[in-house]
Chain A
Amino acid sequence: MADTTDSRLGLNRIGLYAALALLVAFYLSPLESAIMTAFKTQTGFFETSPFVPPTPSTFTFDAWGQAFDRLEQGLVNSLLFTIPATVLSATLGSLVAYGLTNTKWRGQAFVLVLLVAGIFIPYQSVLVPLSRFWSIVDVASLFAWFEPVADRSGLVALAVTHTAYGIPITTLLFRAHYQSLDDSMLEAARLDGASIAKIYARIILPLSIPMFAVALIYQFTNIWNDLLFALVLVQNPANDVVTMSLTSLQGSMVGQYNLQMAGAFITALPTLLVYIFFGEQFAEGVAGGGA
């Protein structure tokens, strides 16, 4: 620091913040152009620049209302399968991570490698068998006696499938956390004769709450955002999830960019809210998912 003069340092800092600000503009520009467009009338977005806010004469809420009408059912359906799949995959991941980390037996590493490899599987390599499986295991006729489930067979299939494909990543997240727990505490509990289940319920579970936040947030975002599984597993249009509804809105409203952008924001809203309020946890999930 001694050889740099204050002014050069100041200049460096200005350059640094200018670069950071430019990057902010780049990362936010698609969202900015989209939100401006969503509030414009058709002539508004055709005749003005996409990054300019609407004027009073080109301002309208119409696009939001229309887009919401198109996406409403999809939003409900998405919530219906995303929430159970998120909670189940996080809970099961916690149990698996505990069973494979804080107990002692040979072969844990092998099971773990098999599970972790599941994170990286391209979904395409299981699509055809999945669609076969869910047409053989016909949820609609299995639950024929219980209409609310039978009517949503596609959503049940999605919930189960996403739970299965979420367990590897949640296991990895919880495992990293459980490895960092103080071992002597668990040893002491064992010496006191606590059973494995008791140690989990009394010690591990309460200490897992921050990690549950990470796993739930990460899984919710992943599952909500998925399109591919839904395309293959949802047969009945009444069960379309929101990403499907948005895709068909985009396909049928060619050129109506205000509607498309409003629809994209409505679809993204739950994950955006989660990200804005729990960004730290999401980042932790992202970092843990790779390492």
Chain B
Amino acid sequence: MRSRILRVLRPGEQADAESEQQVRTDGGTSADRPQRGAADSDARADGGVTATADQPSRARRWLDSEFVKSLPFWLPATLLVGLFVYGAIGWNFVISLTDWTGLRQPTYDSFDFEMYEVFFRNVGKGGLLSGPHTQEYWALRNTFVLLVVFTVAALVVGLLLAILVDRDIRYENTFRTIYLLPMSLSFVVTAIFWAWMYNPDTGMINETLRLVGLGSLTQQWISDPQFKLFAVMFALVWQFSGYAMVVYLAGLRAIPTDQYEAAKVDGASLVKMYWRVIIPQLRASTTSAAVVLMVFALKAFDFLFVLFGTRPGPSADILAMMMYRESFGITNWAYGSAIAMVLFVLALGVIAPYLYVQFKRGEL
């Protein structure tokens, strides 16, 4: 299958087909390269034309090409995506260069990078180490913390789940289904569940802690600035570790069983076997799961919005929330758009290398 994908992706394919077509019109037969079905049918279509005219017209050949014939399938939807994704991002960039605020219409007359200057100046205001810090600093910092801590935690938990589920257990499907279930729920729903879980008086977390004699560990989980972000990340790991499990399970299943057998024969302990033999082979799964988890983290807006409204406070503010607050809360449209571009560049920094490698390997 791999070779077939590469064949489709390989540049020069069309050139091959075209040159072959030239040969064909001179009377070649399709028997010499039977696997090139596309070129064959093209040649046939052209054959009718060349019977009367010596050279098929370029336009006619173009109209008969697979490219043109496939246009109705992919072009309309691609244009729609192009407009809504790339057109919108471009527009957003243009807005970020203006000074648009308030309820009036935007004017596109003077463009500068003022909003970005303001943003980065505010990030560094008060010194990066000392403080007092601005909301820009906190939003950026928390976004990074969320990206890194949440992603790593979800990967670790997901890997653990995958290894447990992969141990030839009974009712495997049931276990898998339960671990993945939170992912089918809306952020709005899970945020409401967790607000109740974290309730300091009668919430499940504190109740359980008291029940097992750890009453001294009870906290005001989502109102104490010290624990806010941690509490959010814990709930997000609950919701998305099932995703990492699914990805890792696919990776584990792809490892030949004789490697497990070999490790067993060598007398390696279970932990050692996984650490030395199995986990190093899961690098591809880790990369793709990490990329998607980071994107989820960037989208955690809905969850925070339901828990805290648009003002989660410095300890749990993230760029996505700040962008929404600046634009739709206090109508600083240009500034909000600039923050959105910072967020976009962050996302691009995560996905561009990933997509590039996938593309190079022909695995897209």
B21 at interface by CB-CB < 8 Å: no
Q: Cβ of B74 and Cβ of A275 under 8 Å apart? A: no
Tell me, in angstroms, the Cα distance from A225 to B173 when the chains sit together.
24
The verdict on A23 contacting chain B, using a C-beta distance below 8 Å, is: yes
What residue in chain B is nearest A267 (Cβ atoms)? B189
- B211 to chain A: closest residue by CB: A49
- Whether A264 contacts B193 by the Cβ 8 Å rule is yes
CA distance A80 to B243 in the complex (A): 29
Complex contact B38–A104 (CB within 8 A): yes
**Interchain CB contact under 8 A, B85 and A164:** yes
Which A residues from 222 to 272 make CB contacts under 8 A with B? 224-228, 231-232, 243, 246-247, 250-251, 257, 260-261, 263-265, 267-268, 271-272
Docked CA distance A51–B12 (Å): 64
- Are A96 and B85 in contact (CB-based, < 8 A)? no
Inter-subunit contact B238/A228 (CB<8 Å): no
- Are A290 and B292 in contact, with the CB atoms below 8 A? yes
**Is A117 positioned at the interface, with any CB of B under 8 Å from its CB?**
yes
In the complex, chain B residues 58-101 whose Cβ is within 8 Å of any chain A Cβ: 65-67, 69-78, 80-89, 91-92, 95
Task: Establish whether residues B323 and A127, one from each chain, have CB atoms under 8 Å apart when the complex forms.
Answer: yes
Instruction: Please state if B78 and A96 are interface contacts (CB–CB under 8 Å).
Output: yes
B312 interface contact, C-beta 8 A: no
A164, B80: Cβ atoms closer than 8 Å: yes
Against B, the Cβ 8 Å flags (1 = close, 0 = not) of A1-13 are: 1010000000000
* A289 CB contacts on chain B under 8 angstroms: 292
User: With A121-B347, A193-B41 in contact, do A290 and B188 touch (Cβ < 8 Å)?
Assistant: no
CB distance from B133 to the nearest CB of A (A): 22
Q: Does A14 contact B (CB under 8 A)?
A: no
* In the complex, A125 has a CB within 8 A of chain B: yes
Contact A27 B181 (CB under 8 A): yes
A209 at the interface (CB under 8 A from B): no
Q: B178, A179: Cβ atoms under 8 Å? A: no
Q: In the complex the two chains form, what is the Cα distance from A164 to B89 in whole Å? A: 14
Chain A residue nearest to B80 in the complex (CB): A164
Query: B151 at the A/B interface (Cβ < 8 Å)?
Result: no
A156 beta carbon closer than 8 Å to chain B: no
SS class of chain A's interface: helix, strand, loop or mixed?
helix
Q: Mark A83-120, 1 if CB is under 8 A from B, else 0.
A: 00000000011011011110111111101111111111
Contact B169 A193 (CB under 8 A): no
CB <8 Å contact, B264 and A246:
no
Q: Does A143 contact B (CB under 8 A)?
A: no
**Bound CA–CA A169/B6 (angstroms):** 21
Q: Mark B305-342, 1 if CB is under 8 A from A, else 0.
A: 11001000000000110011001100001001101110
Kindly state the separation between the CA atoms of A80 and B305 in the bound complex, as whole angstroms: 24
Q: Is the CB of A125 within 8 A of B340?
A: yes
* Residue among B182, B202, B242, B323 with the highest chain A CB neighbour number at 10 A: B202
- Per the bound structure, the CA–CA distance linking A99 and B341 in Å amounts to 32
CB of A205 to closest CB in B, whole Å:
12
Q: In the complex, how many angstroms separate the beta carbon of B119 from the nearest chain A beta carbon?
A: 14
Q: Measured between alpha carbons, how far is A286 from B179 in the docked complex, in Å?
A: 13
Given known A-B contacts A17-B169, A227-B187, A191 and B40 have beta carbons under 8 A apart: yes
Q: Are A125 and B37 in contact (CB under 8 A)?
A: no
Please tell me if the beta carbons of B1 and A282 are within 8 angstroms of each other in the complex. Answer: no
- Which residues does chain B contribute within 8 Å of A251, judged by CB atoms? 309
Q: Smallest CB–CB gap between B264 and chain A, Å? A: 7
In the assembly, what is the distance between CA of A210 and CA of B359, in Å? 26
Could you tell me the distance between the alpha carbons of A28 and B350 in the complex, rounded to whole angstroms? 32
A65 at the interface (CB under 8 A from B): no
Q: Give the distance in Å from the alpha carbon of A119 to the alpha carbon of B358 in the complex.
A: 15
Q: Which of B82, B92, B211 contacts A129 (CB 8 A)?
A: B92
Contacts A92-B77, A109-B364, A112-B364 given; indicate if A125 touches B185 (C-beta within 8 A): no
| Chain A nearest Cβ from B195, distance in angstroms | 8
- Chain A contacts of B267 at CB under 8 A? 3
B196 contacts A193, C-beta separation under 8 Å: no
B152 contacts partner chain A, Cβ-Cβ < 8 Å: no
A122 touches B14 (CB 8 A): no
- Encode B249-287 as 1/0 by CB contact (under 8 A) with A: 010000000000000100100000000000000000000
Instruction: State whether A114 touches B182 (Cβ < 8 A).
Output: no
Among candidates A17, A103, A118, A186, residue contacting B69 with C-beta atoms closer than 8 Å: A103
If A111-B74, A124-B301 touch, does A190 touch B184 (CB 8 Å cutoff)? no
Tell me if A109 and B359 are in contact (CB < 8 A): yes
- Closest A residue to B342 by beta carbon equals A125
Q: Is the CB of A50 within 8 A of B207?
A: yes
Check B148 for interface membership: any CB of A closer than 8 A: no
Residues of A within 8 A of B327 (CB): 127-128
B291 part of interface (Cβ distance < 8 Å): yes
Given contacts A126-B92, A197-B72, 6 further A-B contacts (CB under 8 A): A27-B238, A113-B355, A123-B299, A126-B88, A133-B91, A283-B180
25 A-B residue pairs with CB within 8 Å? A26-B238, A29-B197, A30-B194, A30-B196, A50-B197, A92-B76, A98-B73, A101-B8, A115-B78, A122-B346, A125-B340, A126-B92, A127-B324, A128-B336, A129-B89, A129-B91, A129-B95, A191-B40, A196-B73, A225-B187, A226-B186, A243-B188, A250-B306, A283-B176, A287-B246
